[in-house]
Amino acid sequence: MNKRTTPLIVGNWKTTPATKEEAVKFIKALEKKCATSKKKLPKKSYYLAVPSVFIAHLAPLAKHGYIGAQNVSGQSLGQTTGGEIPSQLSSAGASFAIIGHSEVRKTGETQEARAIKVALSLQQNLTTIFCVGEKTRDKEGSYLKELEDDIRISFTDIPRNLFSNLIIAYEPVWAIGSKTPATPTECFEVVIALRRAIASLIGIDYAKKVHILYGGAVTKDTATTFLEEGGVDGLLIGRSSQEIVAFFDIITTTH
């Protein structure tokens, strides 16, 4: 099986690094590596979801990639304390936002709140990476139905013309932060189920085209296998994006 598209390599820095200075140093070093890479890379070869306070500092430096947010507030402009709404993130320099990451879901984010966040983020022209993934697997495969339902409920009210800016990330919760990723076969099975859910919601043409990423314990040793055998168009990477050599290795091995 072949890679379908130019891979989307998305890093998720989570609550790292500790300071703006470290973040700037990382991006400058990564940019240097991209600029002098022996392997020919596309003009933009990485996405990095960073702590939101760093976005305005990093976006102007990221010539070979995109800087984005790890979450958005679903509140409207006004009198709510805490969180950044999509227009604020976008004007700070964010090109994209992750929504529905399991670590955000865990804090009590509701299905309804997620659907609002997706709509607001897309309306603001942020490329929106929506995460889904099962907590556990059962032999009967009911987790597939759970994931399909999640997609249907979250996207039902999204205007069709906004879908082109939506990306889905399959992140099995049991793989995130663990030593063991899903197998490419396990990933492929879910990708088919997700495309099926999208086809019934929006149509088969879009379902074939939508970019789907895999995330959960990806390293440079497993990255290419997911693209070649897992049916995905890119990767969402936590730990291996927080270390410059590991992240750059993934960028070069996958392109």
| Catalytic residue list | 101, 171
Closest C-alpha among 221, 137, 61, 57 to residue 46: 61
- Of residues 207-236, which lie at the interface with ligand PGA (CB under 6 A)? 215-218, 236
CB of 168 to ligand PGA, least distance (A): 13
> How many residues at the interface with ligand PGA, by CB under 6 A?
12
For ligand PGA, the closer of residues 12 and 128 by Cβ is 12
> Whose Cβ is closer to ligand PGA: residue 201's or residue 214's?
214
Q: Are 93 and 53 a contacting pair, CB within 8 Å?
A: no
Question: Between 209 and 239, whose beta carbon lies closer to ligand PGA?
Answer: 239
Cβ of 93: how many Cβ atoms within 10 Å? 19
Binding mask 163-182 for ligand PGA (x = CB under 6 A): --------x----xx-----
Question: What is the closest distance, in whole angstroms, from the C-beta atom of residue 54 to ligand PGA in the complex?
Answer: 17
Residue pair 129/70 in contact by the 8 Å Cβ criterion = no
The smaller minimum CB distance to ligand PGA, of residues 61 and 104, is found at 104
Q: Nearest to ligand PGA by Cβ — which residue?
A: 238
Question: 3-state DSSP call for residue 17?
Answer: coil
H or E segment and range at residue 122:
helix 111-123
Q: What is the amino acid identity at position 23?
A: A
Q: Does 11 bind ligand PGA (CB under 6 A)?
A: no
Residue from 238, 250, 251, 252 touching ligand PGA (CB under 6 A): that is 238
Q: Which of 3, 20, 239, 255 binds ligand PGA (CB under 6 A)?
A: 239
Q: Quote the CA–CA distance of 170 and 60 in Å, as a whole number.
A: 30
Query: Which residue, 201 or 220, is less far from ligand PGA as judged by CB?
Result: 220
Instruction: Give whichever of 55 and 237 is closer to ligand PGA, judged by the CB atom.
Output: 237
Of the candidate spans 132-140, 146-154, 199-207, 237-245, the one that interacts with ligand PGA by CB under 6 A turns out to be 237-245
CA distance 228 to 30: 25
In whole angstroms, the minimum distance from the beta carbon of 123 to ligand PGA comes to: 24
What residues contact residue 226 under an 8 Å CB cut-off, 6+ apart? 181, 184, 187, 214, 218, 232, 235
Query: Using the rule CB under 6 A, which residue among 8, 158, 237, 251 binds ligand PGA?
Result: 237
Cα distances (angstroms) measured from residue 48 to each of 52, 103, 168, 188, 203: 11, 17, 16, 25, 30
Residue 252 CB neighbours (<10 A): 18
Dihedral sign of CA atoms 230, 236, 238, 241 in order = positive
* Binding residues for ligand PGA (CB under 6 A): 12, 171, 176-177, 215-218, 236-239
